[in-house]
Amino acid sequence: MVELNPQEMGAVVNRLRRAQGQIGGVLRMIEEGRDCKDVITQLAAVNRALDRAGFAIVATGLKQCLSESGGQESVDLKTMEKLFLSLA
């Protein structure tokens, strides 16, 4: 499997930290008895942020697989494809 380069994951880490804060906000909204529409709107935003982070991670892994294999099909590419599709 491809190991992710932490230096290339800076934007993903930032996105996940923001999502973490958003989740905390959703919890507070529920505890405060906020309107359902507001809670769902925030929850949808968290979901999109997590999806985008996952897509970015898989895309980085695919790029690494392609560069390491010289564009040839490999088991790692098949695994990355399955991971990518699991996000759909």
Kindly list the structural domains of the chain, giving each domain's residue range(s) and its CATH number in brackets, ordered by start.
8-86 (1.20.58.1000)
Taking only the tens place, the pLDDT of each residue in 19-59 is 999 999 999 999 999 999 999 999 999 999 999 898 888 88
Of the candidates 67, 61, 64, the one whose C-alpha atom is nearest the C-alpha of residue 87 is 61
Read off the amino acid at residue 61: G
- Please give the distance of CA 10 from its chain centroid, rounded to a whole number: 12
Residue 2 has pLDDT above 80, yes or no: no
Taking only the tens place, the pLDDT of each residue in 66-84 is 676 555 555 566 776 777 7
Read off the amino acid at residue 10: G
